[in-house]
Amino acid sequence: MDKYLNQLSKTYRNIGEVSEEIINLQAILNLPKGTELFLSDIHGEYEAFIHILNNGSGIIKSKIEGIYDKALTEKDRKDLATLIYYPEEKLNIEKSKTENINEWYKITLYRLIEVTKAVSSKYTRSKVRKAMPKGFDYIIDELLHLQGDDDNKELYYNQIIDSIIDLKRADEFIVAISELIKRMAIDHLHIVGDIYDRGPGAPIIMDKLMSFHSLDIEWGNHDILWMGAASGNEACIANVIRICSRYDNLATLEEGYGINIRPLSIFATETYDDNNCSGFLPKNNEVSKYSNTDKVVLSKIQKAIAVMQFKIEGNLIKKHKEYQMDDRLLLDKIDYEKGTVKLGKKEYKLNDTDFPTIDPNDPYKLTDGEAEIIERLKESFTHSEKLNRHINFLYAKGHMYENFNSNILFHGCVPMKKNGKFDNVEILGKKLKGRALFEYIENIAHRAFFGEGEKQDEIDMMWYFWCGPKSPLFGKDKAATFERYFLDDKETHKETKNPYYYLTENEEICNKILLDFGTDIEEGHIINGHMPVKAKDGESPVKANGKMIVIDGGFAKAYQQTTGIAGYTLTYNSHGLVLAMNEPFSSKCKAIQEGLDIRTQTILKENIEKRKRVADTDIGRKLQEEIDDLKMLLNAYREGGLKEKV
């Protein structure tokens, strides 16, 4: 301890400096807790995602309503909100239609300052100052903290505003202060898995996350799939490409990450030239950017990569008996003459029997052409500079779970047995369960991407984490991909969920999980994604008397027909938890042109009797430890154990 106090004394050199820091930290502890925002299963829907960040999950709109409810018309309030969300685009509209733009600037700047005061009121002046955009920080600080109503101060305030306009800096200032408002609306962001696949903009979302001030990410199975692909796992690579072609989304690969799909496209069109690939036509809920001819090419690409996927996966399953996935070895269960496949004891008619690259005598062997394609794709994935930058960020900010302010966040499930006990899962020779399983999987994932030397088993495991029957990221007994493509019988498409998903309707089971993951069962919640809540069928995202909250409600357009909504947003501020149900986002264009916001409906409001302060948070507990250490240093100075420095 003496050594530690000596080190601390280099920063706080005397009684005055120590006392000042203790007073500062104790004041921070009494501020209201900052707002946390939880989102999950974004699945590439970048416009809706960015809009939710821009509107602070409704926080900014509510601040505007609170300040200007009686003073402004609804249209003016909408216009002000849209300006904050999309300042550059909205400025262009206003300048094209407003006759006296300087008068508009003056009115708007006053309004933006008032909104900034409202969203920043719970933070220290120092924290707000650090968040201010450079170049305008001194001016914004002055405008926010002018005190009193005397004429001199009003003149000073007005002169600052007039100077901004006269010097042609109003546009830049509006953009800067709008960004500050958005920055202060959300103190910390939680992404509870599945950034990737289905929607068109995962790379855009990743760029946005990399610039966000404070966040954590809990990996989803679609994230781990891309992490596995970047690690060189061929089965993961095949799955990524198949999903992108299935959802009309090859642009993510080609334009987003520079992955060269052309060799695969040529191979597919040549190999499946006369093949009817209608079962592989891309899914798209909107008007596709592709022509009918291009869709046919996409269907051939999808079939070609799907067949390669089944071969590569089959070889992985045979290599790793410990995966216990022999039921997924289906290519050798096909009777290629009869056009049937045997599942268990039952035989089913295939709806597509054209397999030009499969040798019935060795069905899991890649042809020379397929092997060359996979090798070239592997090279492209592992050497994509932008993909590797994004995956590095997923590792830096991502975890299997997060214990944050008494809430446990993870994407999928804790593997359980039907009797309510944690299931032991074998991972590379170790049998683990619960929290220990999550931590070991995280360790394996890091070794797969960053490890040196022999790490093929770890790389192979990345595919198991994506779709293995006991993977906590997947949470189902199988991925019925083959059946969905080749069998019309819907019963064969069924994927049975892990017992976790019905057991956690029980509060006692949730408390058991909370205890295992090291949090308080009185205040704690499990916050989950992964399984879309079918709100249209009356399913509730709130389970076990509020102990569990599932926030996957269909953010991705591909799921919205199933759920009937467009996802959930959960916020946790100093007053408690608020869960909102979102209606589908129209478009960025309509949001700007018509002032359309995402319409939400509050379905859970868990108010706290005593308002949460910083002292009640994880950060607050760390600050209290700092205060305790500083008090020991203060005593050491006062008692002569350490000499003060001038």
Buried b (16+ CB within 10 A) or exposed e, 105-134: bbebbebbbbbbebbbebbeeeebbebbbe
Residue 159 has pLDDT above 60, yes or no: yes
Where is 70: in which H helix or E strand?
none
- List of E strands, 411-466: 425-427, 430-432
What is the C-alpha to C-alpha distance for residues 125 and 123, in angstroms, rounded to an integer? Answer: 6
pLDDT for the residue 593: 87
Q: What's the mean per-residue pLDDT of the chain?
A: 93
Q: Strand pairing of 346-349 and 340-343?
A: antiparallel
What is the C-alpha to C-alpha distance for residues 223 and 260, in angstroms, rounded to an integer? Answer: 21
What is the C-alpha to C-alpha distance for residues 131 and 184, in angstroms, rounded to an integer? Answer: 8
Phi and psi dihedrals of 153, rounded to 5? -70, -35
Least confident stretch, 120-129, 303-312, 345-354, 381-390: 120-129
Residue 105 has pLDDT above 60, yes or no: yes
397 Cβ contact list (under 8 Å, min separation 6): 209, 215, 216, 217
Name the residue with tokens 């999309």. Answer: 86
Least confident stretch, 105-119, 473-487, 579-593: 579-593
Residue 258 has pLDDT above 60, yes or no: yes
Name the residue with tokens 């397929």. Answer: 370
Mean pLDDT along residues 244-248? 93
pLDDT for the residue 285: 44
What is the residue extent of each domain of the chain? Answer: 2-31+617-639, 55-188, 202-467
What is the C-alpha to C-alpha distance for residues 225 and 465, in angstroms, rounded to an integer? Answer: 8
Phi and psi dihedrals of 246, rounded to 5? -65, -35
Residue 430: name the closest of 415, 420, 419, 444 by CA.
444
Q: Give the pLDDT confidence of 289-333 residue by residue, as tens digits.
A: 555 558 889 999 999 999 999 999 999 999 999 999 999 999 999
Mean pLDDT along residues 630-642? 92
Helices 151-166 and 170-185: crossing angle, nearest 10°? 110
Task: Name the band, by pLDDT with cuts 50, 70 and 90, for residue 536.
Answer: confident
pLDDT for the residue 560: 84
Q: SS3 letters for 112-129?
A: HHHHHHHHHCCCCHHHHH
Who has greater pLDDT, 608 or 489? 489
Q: Give the pLDDT confidence of 169-217 residue by residue, as tens digits.
A: 999 999 999 999 999 999 999 999 999 999 889 999 999 999 999 999 9
The β-bridge partners of 543 are 548
Residue 180: name the closest of 135, 122, 120 by CA.
120
Least confident stretch, 365-369, 529-533, 546-550: 529-533
